[in-house]
Amino acid sequence: MNESGQQPPAPDYDDKGVPGFDFVRDKIEGRYATSLGAGELAEDTEAARSLAEQQEDREKAAKDRLEQIRKSLG
CA dist., res. 27 & res. 12, Å (int): 11
Whole domain around residue 5: which residue ranges?
1-43
Instruction: Answer yes or no: do 15 and 34 share one domain.
Output: yes
Instruction: Answer yes or no: do 37 and 1 share one domain.
Output: yes
Domain count, the chain: 2
Instruction: Answer yes or no: do 50 and 16 share one domain.
Output: no
pTM more than 0.75: no
Instruction: Answer yes or no: do 61 and 39 share one domain.
Output: no
Instruction: Answer yes or no: do 28 and 53 share one domain.
Output: no
Q: What is the pLDDT of residues 5-45, one digit of tens each?
A: 666 667 788 888 888 999 999 999 999 999 999 988 887 78
Return the pLDDT at 24: 93
Instruction: Answer yes or no: do 35 and 5 share one domain.
Output: yes
Instruction: Answer yes or no: do 2 and 38 share one domain.
Output: yes
Q: Which residues contact 15 (CB under 8 A, 6 or more apart)?
A: 9
